[in-house]
Amino acid sequence: MVRPVTVAILHLSSLVRSPLRDRQQDRVGRVEDVIVRPDGGPHPPISGLVASIGGRELFVPVWRVSDLSADGAMLEGETVNLGRFERRPGELLLARDLSSRHLINVVGARLIRANEIELACVDAQWRVVGVDPSSRGVARRVLPRMLARRIGPGPIVDWESIEPFVAHVPSARMRIPYRKLAKLRPAQIADLVEAASHEEGEEIIEAVGQDHELEADVFEELDPEHQREFLESRSDEEAARLLATMAPDDAADLVADLDQERRMPVLEALPPKQRMKVRSLLSYNPETAGGLMSPDFLLLPEHSTVAEALDAVRESDAPPETLTTIYVGDPEGRLVATISIVRLVQSEPSAKLGVVAERDPVSVRPDADLHSIVRTMSDFNLAATPVLDPDQNVLGVVTVDDVLELLMPTGWRRDFGMSAQDE
């Protein structure tokens, strides 16, 4: 979120290494850093400064500071009696911890670099108000102060939409709030993880791990390289807990990517129902219909009514993408017809599925390759197609999103700017 500036901005780069003066304007030291303690508000207040006085790092509480400007900091009072600086849990040092580092712009679902951190006095209190990711902040830090002052402000991303990484902060004892990331879609969070360093990605995954379903959804969206990277750092039990909440076909892909010696322990740690589905999918080539299909779908007897079918849809725990089509079986369970969810809603509640459903459904065999699947789904305009065994029993369903994922080139999100950093 980029907002117009309505208050006078003080650039962090102009304050750091500026003079610390007493009331008589005599220089007593130098400002080394600015301390904030995020309090959950949109613009965290400054709690103090780190100052270098006589070769020692001292803590200057904000109430001892009468003024801050590009010319330095002015002390309140006649005497200097300051304590040695010791970082307290939960404190952030803006220059040391955040300057030139990645931050998360939650509104834009982007990583940005804090090339400049902007401060302002709001309601008589100095606060962090935003971040400038442009190159202006870099220029201010490398140019002499007189030249740096001529560089105007850049686009400011409001701090309200910013979330810092804290894994590298000593004794931070805090983490990225789940509530902010939960506003993003799983694919957006996955983009952030892929654009971040491993340490930063782990911090994001740890934050979304507070919601096991969201964590699983994010893992499903990660590219295979990152999936392997994060699973390798987890124990077999932790890996199994994650895989248990994922779609069986995605879980099977991840198990197949594990080292040979880990596959069996992880499989054995899965809940029985999920373990059976994953084992079944692992028996197929991953780029065939059998390897791509989801084993979760809705198959109903042809004597069922439309009303009963709609009730079954409401109660089903199958993925929504596989419920776009309802499958109709004969008394032996063999597929005889299909009906789209739209056609189902439009039909009379008392009508029988065997009457309103479309006979002779299009299907593929489990050994069908990707090109055959794409051709079939394209020719018949299908969002999902059933996978049948030789006896016409439904083994699973291939959905269009699974096919698209294989067809898109590796790294396509970055190629098209989906995970680009704001610079």
Asked, for residue 419, whether it belongs to a domain, the answer is no
End-of-domain residue from the set 140, 164, 188: 164
Residue 70 is predicted with a pLDDT of: 87
| pLDDT band at residue 422 under the 50/70/90 scheme | very low
CA distance 404 to 377: 11
In terms of C-beta density within 10 A (0-12 exposed, 13-18 middle, 19 or more buried), how is residue 418 classed? middle
Residue 49 is predicted with a pLDDT of: 94
Residue 163 is predicted with a pLDDT of: 85
Phi (first) and psi of residue 43, to 5 degrees: -135, 100
Residue 174 is predicted with a pLDDT of: 60
Asked, for residue 388, whether it belongs to a domain, the answer is yes
Asked if 30 contacts 139 with a C-beta cutoff of 8 angstroms, the reply is: no
* CATH (domain of 360): 3.10.580.10
Asked if 222 contacts 230 with a C-beta cutoff of 8 angstroms, the reply is: yes
Residue 127 is predicted with a pLDDT of: 94
Strand partners, 80: none
Residue 162 is predicted with a pLDDT of: 87
Residue 421 is predicted with a pLDDT of: 45
For residue 291, what are the contacts with CB-CB under 8 A and spacing of at least 6? 249, 252, 281, 284, 285
* CATH (domain of 152): 2.30.30.240
The tens digit of pLDDT for each residue in 226-236 reads: 888 888 888 99
* CATH (domain of 226): 1.25.60.10
Asked, for residue 4, whether it belongs to a domain, the answer is no
Domain that holds residue 231: 178-287
Residue 78 is predicted with a pLDDT of: 60
Report which listed range, 26-30, 134-138, 324-328, 414-418, is most confident: 324-328
- CA separation (Å) from 113 to 134, 172, 238? 8, 20, 32
* The pLDDT of residue 172 is above 90: no
Asked, for residue 294, whether it belongs to a domain, the answer is no
Q: What is the mean pLDDT of the chain?
A: 86
CA distance 294 to 387: 9
The tens digit of pLDDT for each residue in 259-281 reads: 889 999 999 999 999 999 999 99
The tens digit of pLDDT for each residue in 339-362 reads: 999 999 999 999 999 999 999 999
The tens digit of pLDDT for each residue in 129-168 reads: 999 998 888 888 777 777 777 777 778 899 988 888 876 6
3-state secondary structure the chain: CECCCCCCCEEHHHHCCCEEECCCCCEEEEEEEEEECCCCCCCCEEEEEEEEECCEEEEEEHHHEEEEECCEEEECCCCCCCEECCCCCCCEEHHHHHCCCEEEECCCCEEEECCEEEEEEECCEEEEEEEECCCHHHHHHHCCHHHHCCCCCCCCEEHHHEEECCCCCCCCCCCCCHHHHCCCCHHHHHHHHHHCCHHHHHHHHHHHCCCHHHHHHHHHHCCHHHHHHHHHCCCHHHHHHHHHCCCHHHHHHHHHHCCHHHHHHHHHHCCHHHHHHHHHHHCCCCCEHHHHCECCCCEEECCCEHHHHHHHHHHCCCCHHHHHEEEEECCCCCEEEEEEHHHHHHCCCCCEHHHHCEECCCCECCCCEHHHHHHHHHHCCCCEEEEECCCCCEEEEEEHHHHHHHHCCCCHHHHCCCCCCEC
- Same structural domain, 336 and 369: yes
Residue 167 is predicted with a pLDDT of: 65
The tens digit of pLDDT for each residue in 374-419 reads: 999 999 999 999 999 999 999 999 999 888 877 776 655 554 444 4
CA distance 43 to 128: 5
- Same structural domain, 68 and 130: yes
- Same structural domain, 34 and 134: yes
Asked, for residue 2, whether it belongs to a domain, the answer is no
Asked, for residue 188, whether it belongs to a domain, the answer is yes
Angle between helices 224-232 and 198-208 (to 10 degrees): 80
- For residue 29 the two structure tokens come to 């030291």
- For residue 167 the two structure tokens come to 């894994």
Instruction: Please name the residue that has the structure tokens 């304050």.
Output: 15
| pLDDT band at residue 3 under the 50/70/90 scheme | very low
The tens digit of pLDDT for each residue in 186-226 reads: 989 999 999 888 888 888 988 888 888 888 889 888 888 88
Asked, for residue 340, whether it belongs to a domain, the answer is yes
Residue 7 is predicted with a pLDDT of: 58
Asked, for residue 170, whether it belongs to a domain, the answer is no
CA distance 382 to 392: 19
End-of-domain residue from the set 132, 164, 196: 164
Asked if 276 contacts 252 with a C-beta cutoff of 8 angstroms, the reply is: no
- Same structural domain, 139 and 272: no
Phi (first) and psi of residue 303, to 5 degrees: -85, -5
- Same structural domain, 89 and 35: yes
End-of-domain residue from the set 287, 320, 336: 287
Instruction: Work out how many domains the chain is built from and give that number.
Output: 3
What percent of the chain is predicted at pLDDT more than 70? 91
- Same structural domain, 387 and 304: yes
CA distance 294 to 284: 12
- Same structural domain, 309 and 226: no
- Same structural domain, 216 and 72: no
Asked if 54 contacts 82 with a C-beta cutoff of 8 angstroms, the reply is: no
| pLDDT band at residue 81 under the 50/70/90 scheme | low
Residue 402 is predicted with a pLDDT of: 83
- Same structural domain, 306 and 261: no
- Same structural domain, 22 and 149: yes
For residue 186, what are the contacts with CB-CB under 8 A and spacing of at least 6? 214, 217, 218, 220, 221
- Same structural domain, 279 and 137: no
- Same structural domain, 201 and 271: yes
* The pLDDT of residue 80 is above 70: no
CA distance 377 to 380: 5
| pLDDT band at residue 423 under the 50/70/90 scheme | very low
- CA separation (Å) from 351 to 13, 329, 335? 73, 16, 19
